[in-house]
Structure 1
Amino acid sequence: MCNKELFKSFSLRALSQCSLVIMLAYFCLGLLALCPLTTASDPTCEELTAPLEDRSLWQPTVTQRIFGGGILQAGLLDISVLLRHLHSVMSAQLVVVLLALTSLCAAASPEHDCKDLVKPLLLDNHSPIFGKWVLHVGSWDTPGLKNDLVVVNTSWIELSASSRSDIISLYWGDRLNDDKCLQGSADVTVTGMTSNATYNINNHTSYHEGKYYETCAECLLSEDTTLLPDGKSLGRYLFLFTRTGKLEPSELETFKKQAACLNFPDEYYFMGTNLCPDNRKTETPASAN
């Protein structure tokens, strides 16, 4: 389910796509109301709307003139009655069409847009995600996770192949707000469309389950769920990495829509640009510089 603001924006867009058709239909309805359908031998509009000589027999109301309802009160039978009856039938049919169009437009929901925006990235071929990525922006769905994220000023990761096809080697580097750099590595186990990794940072072990989604070119969109040792979720992050750390405004807007589709709040934390240097060592535990 998308949030309310996204639903509103998508619904307005869906309605705008139908507006031209509805306007044309209402225009046709107005023409029918002003002038009934006639054949070459039918009277003209002026003849049909001209008052009878005996005005007491036929006094159309304002509503009848607008919607083409000419009624003979004294049992008079006139060809205009038949034409106006035909007009009212066709008007009713057009109203049904208008109602159907309106229902279809109103029924348009953001679900289809979310399906297009949030497509899982298949990890059967890891090569598209290999290489170095710079974290540009992150979001969270649990307030406590924000506190852990905002202490980081910049972050980068590097993904590479390992000797096993189901494992990706990950190396990371974070610059904290106190200008300290933390770096470390982890093995990411890939199963279908999800990944699992265990991080050891300053002798603290954390467990994470990841999902990847299709996104902009030269970007990597990762949903990261922080887990307790028993598998219980502490909440989720949504990270958008880029090759350069830069992002176009249109790409940022797409990310925000994707976040809304994944039920993340409208809160974001943007990273800086002063990355930690790659001081890679042979040992795997995280180290402080």
Structure 2
Amino acid sequence: MMGLVHVILAVLSLLTVGQSAPVTSCESLTKQVEIIGRNQLLGKWMYIGESTTIAGFKLLTKALVETSWARISAADESDAINVFQSQKMLGRCFTATTKMTLGNNTLSMVHPMHVSEVLLSTGCPDCLVLQTNFTFGGSTYKGLQFMSRRARVTDAEMDEFKKQVECLNLPPPTVLDPEKGFCPDESNLQETETTDLTTDISSMNAEDVKLFDRFLSSSDGIQLLIKIITTGLTGLKEN
């Protein structure tokens, strides 16, 4: 059971950045921003909100994910970054480290799923808005992620992100609540109950990803997925 729970959580973690005058037109809001080297991406980012065409993603996130943040660092390769993600789910902390490659103004990953991301314009001076395309289990999805250096953004900055979601014809976004608290930084992880999913992610195969995709294809599958995870995490707490 716990092996399946870890696979599910590993995929979920992958699916899971002052104020200037906001841009308002769809043409401006969906304009790609050139990524001039990886330095502009480095550092710690809080996940503020996300929209995706995965039908059950919002329900899944609302039921399981409390808060999430990521630290992006330079990889050994000059065209790559390491992404350390820390996610709080049902009162527990889960971490994972993945690598993405930067080329042709696009961040990409091929395992355990194909992911490509481009940076979009934003009036928020310390934010990232990433437009994402990802394929797993034979299905292709689109999404938009909003991240900030801060745990909270202004109402105007959030409204701008929601407008970007509308311009791209994506579903209303899921917004995370910083009041629920964040998992600690890497230096303090030993002081809290944390499960690292990096090995689970690296060992995932095509069948694991297809299984997750099948769960997401129906409301019954989503409910079963939530039940499997909550039951598994309850078992961890009892042990």
Q: TM-score, normalised by structure 1?
A: 0.52
Letter in 1 for 2:184: P
1:184 Cα shift? Answer: 1.1
Decide whether the 8 Å contact of 1:171 with 1:186 is kept in 2.
Answer: yes
Within the alignment, does 1:146 sit opposite 2:21 as a pair?
no
Q: Which residue of 2 aligns with 1:191?
A: 103
> Structure 1 residues 284, 119: closer, same or farther in 2, change over 3 A?
same
Aligned to 1:175: 88
Q: Aligned to 2:199, what secondary structure does the other structure show? A: coil
Within-5 A mapping of 1:73-92? none
Count of aligned pairs between the two proteins: 169
Identical aligned residues as a percent: 24
In angstroms, what is the RMSD of aligned CA positions? 2.7
Deviations 1:11-44 (A, max 9, x none): xxxxxxxxxxxxxxxxxxxxxxxxxxxxxxxxxx
Deviations 1:138-166 (A, max 9, x none): 11223123244332110101111122221
Contact 2:31-2:121 at 8 Å conserved across structures: yes
Query: What residue in structure 2 maps to residue 219 of structure 1?
Result: 127
- Structure 2 residue ranges without an equivalent (≥5): 1-23, 190-195, 202-232
Bigger-Rg structure (1/2): 1
> Which of 107, 118, 123 is residue 35 of structure 2 equivalent to?
123
Residues 191 and 240 (structure 1), Cα distance of their counterparts in 2 relative to 1, 3 Å cut = same
TM-score normalized with structure 2 length: 0.62
Aligned with 1:163 (options 73, 76, 79): 76
Q: Which has the higher contact order (CA 8 A, sep 6+)?
A: 2
Contact persistence 1:181–1:276 (CA under 8 A): yes
In the alignment, residue 249 of structure 1 is paired with which amino acid?
Answer: D
Q: Which consecutive residues of structure 1, in runs of 5 or more, have no partner in the other structure?
A: 1-111, 200-204
**Alignment match, 1:271:** 176
Verify: 1:114 aligned to 2:20, yes or no. Answer: no
Deviations 1:113-144 (A, max 9, x none): 22212221222322122110001111122312
Distance 1:283 1:155 in 2: 14
Q: Residue in 2 aligned with 1:285?
A: 199
Paired amino acid for 1:272 = D
Q: Distance in 2 between matches of 1:149 and 1:236?
A: 16
How far 1:283 moved relative to its partner?
9.6
The answer on whether the counterparts of 2:94 and 2:197 sit within 8 Å (CA) in structure 1 is no
What is the Cα deviation at residue 285 of structure 1? 2.8
